Structure 1
Amino acid sequence: MSSDDIRLGDIIVDDDSGDIVLIGFPYDEGVRRNNGRVGAQHGPNAFRQLLKRTGTVVNAEYDDLDIRKYLKISDGGNINSDLTLEEAHQQLEERIQQLILKGKIPFVVGGGNDQSYPNASALLNNSKSIYVINIDAHLDVRPLKENKSHSGSPFRLLLEDQRFHQNPSNRFIEFASQGSQCSIEHVNYIRSKSPLTQIFWYQSIRDDPLTYFRSIIKSAEEQKSDIFVSFDVDSIISSSCPGVSAPATVGLTAQQACDIAFYAGQSLQVKLMDLSEYNPLIEEYRTGKLVTLIFYHFILGRAKTLRDAIH
């Protein structure tokens, strides 16, 4: 540790003791089942290597905001990598539920986007009302394949889950969806689940996505709903984020992604966040630095809210 330049790697401890707990989901079998480019199973460990020098912990841009004064960050390790995908999903759901019950904020790094259903399911088990926000170029409501889940199916599973329909204030939001990437059959499936669902198309939000994202968060806060932000990084333009399973020629900018993560962190009703589809076998450094910066901005946003509540 350099005392004049402290980074996240200097303050993260390896256990579940943090207010925010990092969990890795090292699986891309769901991507393979969905005919995507495999390699995201290496995402969590590549993320950790780059996270060591991410920071700084004291950010002068936010009036010398010192993360250490308001938050403890820990690394709870990976889900066991030797399981079947179905077993891994079950272990992930149990792990996330345990953390939520302890009042922790799980931040899950994948791995394929199939992780998002077990994450959402864990929150459903512990919340009266939830908002699930899928930041993604794709809708991810494809049918199962041979009765098996995959990286394109997590939110169909959510929308077919009877628990989700038990509270009329529950919401599922598709954010930054790209019409060129979304089958009309899947769009109509989302529409058929209205009013529980809503699509914010990329073309409609691209000039100022943060304003639209804030409006969703505000609505959830007014409903007193717990929020799960699921961030598939293939929603980010591939010139900034090339190392993903399905890169986007157009999409959110790196700055917009960080702004969204910062604002998500600011809301105390955001109880869970995940990042999916970082694929270091395709491109490790540039994408990995951005993904760690998204995590950093989430932490920074939460620390700012806690500081502002005190002062």
Structure 2
Amino acid sequence: MELSELLYPVSEHLLDDLKDILPHKLGKLIRYHSEFEGLPNLESSKLALIGVAEDRGSIENKGSAAGVDKIRSRFYRLYPGNWQASCIADLGNLRKGNSLKDTYAALQMVCEYLFKNQIIPIVIGGSNDLLYPMYLGFSKLEQYVDITSADAMLDIGTIEEAVNDTNYLSHLVLQKPYILNNFTNIGYQTYLVSPEELQLMDKMFFDHYRLGDLKPIKKVEPLVRSADILSFDMISIKASDNPGHSRSQPNGFTGEEACAIMRYAGLSDKLMAVGLFGYNPAFDHHLISASLAAEMIWYFVEGFFNRKGDYPLTSKRDFLKFTVIIEEGDYELVFYKNPKTSRWWLEVPQIINGDTTMERNILIPCNEEDYQNAVNQEIPVRWWKAYQKTIVI
């Protein structure tokens, strides 16, 4: 199926509004899928905006399907940074399927096309179950996938129900082919999460970080740097900065922190897709949340155009190496630091039949604090979970 068959052009009403904005704003500089000219040439595109006006998978935030163009309109009115804005293509809105499964299939196909052409999709939802088809878009790439999700809840739910925004993680874990390597939640709030869900996350060696454990916000950077996909549910932002959700919470990330997280995602040389979900205009009477969502996308783009070509694009042979011996258990932790970017990684050995296979060791992002803790004989939790998952019998 052709890409144009899966996407509606940007609405003419929205494009008519662009006539009134200043010439140097993003609405005048990025390229569009228009009714008269069709899809833009994507050969020079690096980033693609895709609206998905779909909320049939939402349990308690119906109305999020109506928010896509409000975010898009606010984004158009921002000035660019020091970017080549013509590398951004707005592909319009995904055609809504007769069923929710049809919408999932269409979004999966669009993501597959963009991944194949090395274009990063920026998906504007809709409800956060749309992460599910984005993940399925990786199934033909023959690679494992790491997901980081900013969310006040874990959304594990039960597999007995169809995919929705409260149980999509269960479906991700059990979906064939089994390509989910790791799932990391950032910003969950303990009183919104059942103990059983936390126990299940630990049983699967998935990472989860309470909101209060992520101060200062720079602690999030390595957690985002490890991801192939970032899913950002707006419910993770506190209500005073984000009224546009039916279940806005009094606590959460600040607007500034949300923008910082998106910038970290853009900076990551590994990240291939981002989804922004949960915005509901029915509760956003002054368009505060729409403006914040637009600024979050702006910061993601800002990060992308400042990528450093870091690992995995740069070999670890160019890094500084630090070895720490953990006396209890006799573990050897190997850290790497890129002296050019001051970013840190931690090596995780893969164990096969009791033998360490150095050629297949993996690096997980970390920070200098992890190194200092190791020097003080504290094993980083992320290393331990990753180590348990790499033991091959």
TM-score, length basis structure 1: 0.84
Name the CA distance, whole Å, in 1 between partners of 2:297 and 2:208. Answer: 25
Equivalent position SS for 2:242: coil
Equivalence for 1:67: 83
Shift, 1:255, TM fit: 0.5
Name the CA distance, whole Å, in 1 between partners of 2:263 and 2:249. Answer: 22
Per the alignment, do residues 51 and 217 of structure 1 end up closer, same or farther by CA in structure 2, a change over 3 Å counting? closer
Q: What is the aligned length? A: 283
Query: In the alignment, is the contact (CA less than 8 A) between 2:150 and 2:232 conserved in 1?
Result: yes
Amino acid corresponding to residue 200 of structure 2 in structure 1: Y
Name the CA distance, whole Å, in 2 between partners of 1:239 and 1:4. Answer: 30
Equivalence for 2:169: 155
Name the CA distance, whole Å, in 2 between partners of 1:173 and 1:264. Answer: 14
Amino acid corresponding to residue 13 of structure 1 in structure 2: R
Equivalence for 1:174: 185
Equivalence for 1:251: 252
Query: In the alignment, is the contact (CA less than 8 A) between 1:20 and 1:105 conserved in 2?
Result: yes
Amino acid corresponding to residue 74 of structure 2 in structure 1: L
Equivalence for 2:98: 83
Shift, 1:82, TM fit: 4.8
Identity %, equivalent residues: 23
Amino acid corresponding to residue 248 of structure 2 in structure 1: P
TM-score, length basis structure 2: 0.67
Per the alignment, do residues 283 and 3 of structure 1 end up closer, same or farther by CA in structure 2, a change over 3 Å counting? closer
Deviations 1:129-170 (A, max 9, x none): 32100110010111146x4211112211111224336x7xx2
Query: In the alignment, is the contact (CA less than 8 A) between 1:41 and 1:110 conserved in 2?
Result: yes
Deviations 1:150-204 (A, max 9, x none): 1112211111224336x7xx2110111111111222222222212xx11111121
Name the CA distance, whole Å, in 2 between partners of 1:254 and 1:75. Answer: 24
Per the alignment, do residues 208 and 99 of structure 1 end up closer, same or farther by CA in structure 2, a change over 3 Å counting? same
Q: Does 1:190 align with 2:201?
A: yes
Following superposition of structure 1 onto structure 2, how do residues 129-278 of structure 1 map, counting pairs within 5 Å? Answer: 129-144=144-159, 147-164=161-178, 170-194=181-205, 197-205=206-214, 207-211=215-219, 213-218=220-225, 220=226, 227-278=228-279
Equivalence for 2:281: 280
Amino acid corresponding to residue 43 of structure 1 in structure 2: G
Greater CA radius of gyration, 1 or 2? 2
> Which of 128, 137, 140 is the aligned partner of 1:125?
140
> Which of 117, 124, 129 is the aligned partner of 1:109?
124
Shift, 1:5, TM fit: 6.4
Query: In the alignment, is the contact (CA less than 8 A) between 1:210 and 1:256 conserved in 2?
Result: no
Which structure dedicates a bigger proportion of its chain to strand? Answer: 2
Q: Does 1:25 align with 2:52?
A: yes
Gaps of 5+ in 2: 1-18, 33-38, 314-393
Query: In the alignment, is the contact (CA less than 8 A) between 1:144 and 1:150 conserved in 2?
Result: no
Name the CA distance, whole Å, in 2 between partners of 1:179 and 1:38. Answer: 24
If asked which structure has higher relative contact order (CA below 8 Å, sep 6+), I would say: 1
Amino acid corresponding to residue 67 of structure 1 in structure 2: W
Amino acid corresponding to residue 38 of structure 1 in structure 2: K
Per the alignment, do residues 30 and 4 of structure 1 end up closer, same or farther by CA in structure 2, a change over 3 Å counting? closer
Q: Does 1:9 align with 2:27?
A: yes
Give the alignment's Cα RMSD to 1 decimal.
Answer: 2.4
Shift, 1:210, TM fit: 2.4
Gaps of 5+ in 1: 60-65, 221-225
Query: In the alignment, is the contact (CA less than 8 A) between 1:133 and 1:175 conserved in 2?
Result: yes
Name the CA distance, whole Å, in 2 between partners of 1:29 and 1:174. Answer: 23
Per the alignment, do residues 277 and 217 of structure 1 end up closer, same or farther by CA in structure 2, a change over 3 Å counting? closer
Deviations 1:45-101 (A, max 9, x none): 2211212202x21x4xxxxxx2117x6101111111253111101111111111111
Equivalence for 1:43: 67
Name the CA distance, whole Å, in 2 between partners of 1:209 and 1:125. Answer: 34
